[in-house]
Amino acid sequence: MTDKIDGVLRPEHIIPFPDSISDEAQAVLRRQVDENGMPHNARFAMPSHTDGDAWKQIQATSAAWYAEAMKSRSASGEAEAQTLEIAQATVHVATPGVLDSEHHVLVDLHGGAFTFGGGEACKASASTQALHYGLRCYSVDYRMPPEHPYPAALDDCLATYRYLLDRYAAENIVIAGRSAGGNLAAAMVLRARDEGLPLPGALVLLSPEADLTESGDSFQVNQLVDVVLPGSLRENNLLYAAGVELTHPYLSPLFGDFTRDFPATFIQSGTRDLFLSNAVRLHRALRKANVEAELHVFEAMPHGGFMGAPEDKELVEEVAKFIRRQFRQES
């Protein structure tokens, strides 16, 4: 007699790309897999968190690729970013040609698994976010491991927030982050609260990496189904944490205390997102603490979205409406 399987046995089968999403989104999903249906990104494995030299090499390659990609990027000229130094943080500031409000500001925290996405990509993001939301955008080019592990990135985000508190009312600041940036956004709010700072008016978390222990259901169910992020980021997480327990709320804000004040929060994910459980569990934790929170889950969307498909534009519109509501700019 064999032991009963403690779970669901899923025989090998093909998961088709659904026709319930836009043609553009379907095309993006198809481009992300090879002829055997394997996500291209699944071919790449991150080095051990103990191999700092290997990480530096990968980061240099990634930065060079992004820099080259940014050269061919069509510049609108409507929100060129300027760079300033705040404490030890590099921050790119972009102002849209049409500014909806001088009194409100957006802080943008980039994604990239705590190890990528800085430099030219971060600078470009400042311009993009400013144009999307009609707000002056401060995009934090935070320090990253292996040279600068936790809490350097969080320190940089908090330093930027302190800088803005001297220039804007706290309730007129919105903090937005994608993936690892979503982790930093939520963790920064928890730390700001713990340090007695006034809280921002709103928080926008796009597919947040809220649980570095990767304990949620979707880390199993959506493994290799997410064509952008097909597997674990455990080595990235351990590299960033530098020996600190991954369950600490400043590392995994999912495990934070939300009963002592927390701003209204917009959370987004997709049904094929490896981080879907992060979004669902964080939303439930906020609602249990009676925090105003919205959860937006998009059909078949992988981590990071569809690279400009109509669903991505819909997401931008939803975020913009949420920000305007929180800033009392619309009913």
How many Å apart are CA 303 and CA 287, to the nearest integer? Answer: 23
How confident is the model over 23-60, as pLDDT tens digits? 999 999 999 999 999 999 999 899 999 999 999 999 99
How confident is the model over 164-185, as pLDDT tens digits? 999 999 999 999 999 999 999 9
Q: Per-residue confidence at 331, pLDDT binned at 50, 70, 90? A: very low
How many Å apart are CA 65 and CA 28, to the nearest integer? Answer: 20
| Residues with Cβ within 8 Å of residue 160, at least 6 apart in sequence | 86, 89, 91, 107, 138, 140
Q: Per-residue confidence at 12, pLDDT binned at 50, 70, 90? A: confident
Q: Domains of the chain, with CATH numbers?
A: 80-326 (3.40.50.1820)
Tokens 């700092």, residue located: 52
Instruction: From residue 8, give the alpha-carbon distance in Å to each of 13, 216, 319.
Output: 14, 16, 36
CB atoms within 10 A of CB 77: 8
How many Å apart are CA 313 and CA 74, to the nearest integer? Answer: 18
How many Å apart are CA 153 and CA 143, to the nearest integer? Answer: 5
Could you give the residue ranges of the DSSP H alpha helices within the chain?
A: 23-31, 52-71, 120-133, 152-165, 180-194, 218-221, 234-241, 276-288, 310-326
Residue 141 in contact with residue 263, Cβ under 8 Å? no
- Average per-residue pLDDT for the chain: 95
Instruction: From residue 27, give the alpha-carbon distance in Å to each of 16, 22, 134.
Output: 12, 9, 30
Residue among 266, 275, 141 nearest 218 (CA)? 275
Specify the 3-state DSSP secondary structure of 324.
Answer: helix
How confident is the model over 279-310, as pLDDT tens digits? 999 999 999 999 999 999 999 999 999 999 99
Q: Per-residue confidence at 1, pLDDT binned at 50, 70, 90? A: low
User: What average pLDDT does this structure show over 130-136?
Assistant: 97
Indicate the pTM of the whole model: 0.95
Amino acid 285 reads: A
Q: Per-residue confidence at 10, pLDDT binned at 50, 70, 90? A: confident
